[in-house]
Structure 1
Amino acid sequence: MKKEALGRCPVCNHEMNVTRLHCNHCDTTIEGNFTLCKFCRLTEDHKTFVEVFIKNRGNIKEIEKELGISYPTVRSKLENVIEALGYSVKYEARVDKKEVLSKLSAGEITAEEAVKLLKEE
C-alpha cells in the first residue's frame, strides 16, 4: 500500500521538500531538493473540500448537502483553499440578495448568516 507524501511538516506545519525520488520499475533513484505541487501542500480538510467541490461541479447546493454545511461555510472553505494555494481572495463579487433571501426563506441559512452575507456587499 502506497502512502501519500506529506506536504506539510507534522511538527511545525511548514512546507516539506522531497529529497529522493525512486522508480520501482527500473530501480532509478534521483536525489535532490524538489518542491511539491501546490495541491500536495493543502491540508486534508482542504483536499476533501476540493474533491467534493470538483465532484459536484462547483454546485454550491450539492456541496452544502453533501458536507452538511451552510452556504457561508462553503464560501469560507473555498476562500481558505484559494488562499492556501497562494492566491489572494478578492471580495469584489457582489452578493446576490435574492439568493440569500431565498436560502433564508427555505431554512438553508440562519438569519445571522443572511445578515453576514448581506453586509459583505
Structure 2
Amino acid sequence: MKKEVLGKCPICGEELEVTRLSCNHCHTNIEGDFSLCKFCKLSYEQKNFAEVFIKNRGNIKEIEKELGISYPTVRNKLEDLILALEYKSISKTK
C-alpha cells in the first residue's frame, strides 16, 4: 500500500523536499530538487476539507452537514485553507 506524500517534516514541521522520483515499471530513477505542489503541502485535515468543499461545490450548508460542524467553523477552515495555499485572505484584507 502506497503512502501519501508528506509536505511537512513530522519532527520539526518544516517543508520537505522531493529529491528522487522512481518509475515502478522500468525502474528509472531521477534525482534532483523537485518542488511539491501547493496541495501536497497541506495537512491531512486541510486536504480532507478541500475535498469535501469541492465535492459539495462550495455549498456551505452541505459542508456543515457532512462534517458536522457549524457555519463559523466552515468559514475558519476555508480561511485556513486559503492561507495555507498562499492566497490572500479576503476577510483579513478588508
Q: What residue is the counterpart of 1:100 in the other structure?
A: none
1:39-50 equivalence runs, <5 A: 39-50=39-50
**Identity among equivalent pairs (%):** 68
2-side partners of 1:64 and 1:73: how far apart? 8
Shift of 1:82: 0.3
1:25 is aligned to 2:16: no
**What are the Cα deviations for residues 6-54 of structure 1, in whole angstroms up to 9, with x where unaligned?**
1100011111101110001111100011111000000011011001101
Aligned residue for 2:4, secondary structure, equals coil
Instruction: Give the match for residue 118 of structure 1.
Output: none
**Count of equivalent residues:** 93
Task: State the partner residue of 1:56.
Answer: 56
Bigger radius of gyration, 1 or 2?
Answer: 1
Gaps of 5+ in 1: 93-120
Equivalence map 1:83-98=2 (5 Å)? 83-91=83-91
TM-score by length of 2: 0.94
* Residue 96 of structure 1: aligned partner: none
Query: Is 1:9 equivalent to 2:21 in the alignment?
Result: no
* Aligned-CA RMSD value: 1.4
Question: Which secondary structure does the structure 2 equivalent of 1:77 belong to?
Answer: helix
1: CA distance, partners of 2:79 / 2:91: 10
Deviation string 1:59-95 (CA, Å, 9 cap, x unpaired) is: 1000000111111110110000000001110128xxx
